[in-house]
Amino acid sequence: MSDLPRVHTGEPLVTIGDDDIAYRTRMPHWTMTEALFYLSGHKSPGYESTRHMQDHFWNTYAQAVRAIEMGEICRKIERAGNRVFIDSPANWFAWANGLGPEFIEIDARVRRALQSGDTDKTDSAATIRDETSCQKWLEGLMANKSSSDRPKRDYQSDAKQKFNVGPKPFNRAWANALVKTGNTNWSRPGPKPRS
């Protein structure tokens, strides 16, 4: 199953198995690359790849870019300094379903999993908002080339209380805040100086 029409110039598409579909449709969010590949029942390249999306799903990719620009789908986040667009599998499915089969053929197994409601009930918009708020908070703390006087785990505990973020979102927010502020003082391991 593939995007129609398509121009294939890249690596061949690899169909994913039923267990992988069950796992993927339960994820709290998909990146744009993951969405275009998973919806069609294929393995994602494992990284954000405009070239892969254009090679296999050029028409759908163009529609996704338009929808993102119009604010119909996705939220933009930064991961290690790179811009990434994410949304929940259910939102990606609703968007793609609205496009119709002339843009993307949604794999029947993916369609069944997403229509059955057997997916993660995590509100991805809230998760993204919490992670973004955590990152802004960390950026404020890291501003002015200051140094941390507490261990990272203490900040993680505070972030859990303030923003309800788990370890993975906190670590992404921490890494993005380090990149954005350029403050390497906060990335140094070891005991913190006492005041």
Digit-coded pLDDT (tens) for 19-67: 888 888 888 889 888 999 999 999 988 777 788 888 888 889 899 998 8
At residue 124, does pLDDT exceed 90?
A: no
pLDDT band at 1 (very low <50, low <70, confident <90, very high): very low
| Rounded average pLDDT over 110-125 | 67
* pLDDT over 70, % of the chain: 86
At residue 175, does pLDDT exceed 90?
A: no
Residue 71 zone, left/alpha/beta (φ > 0; ψ -120 to 50; rest): left
Closest CA to 35 of 79, 116, 128, 97: 97
pTM to 2 decimal places: 0.56
Q: Report phi then psi at 16, rounded to 5.
A: -95, 150
Q: Which residues contact 135 (CB under 8 A, 6 or more apart)?
A: 78, 172, 173, 176, 177, 180
At residue 117, does pLDDT exceed 80?
A: no
What's the pLDDT score for residue 118? 52
Q: Is the bond into 5 cis (omega within 30 degrees of 0)?
A: yes
In this predicted model, which residue has the larger pLDDT, 101 or 121? 101
**By mean pLDDT, which of 14-18, 89-93, 118-122 is the weakest?**
118-122
Concatenated DSSP letters for 119-147? S----HHHHHHHHHHHHHHHHHHHGGG--
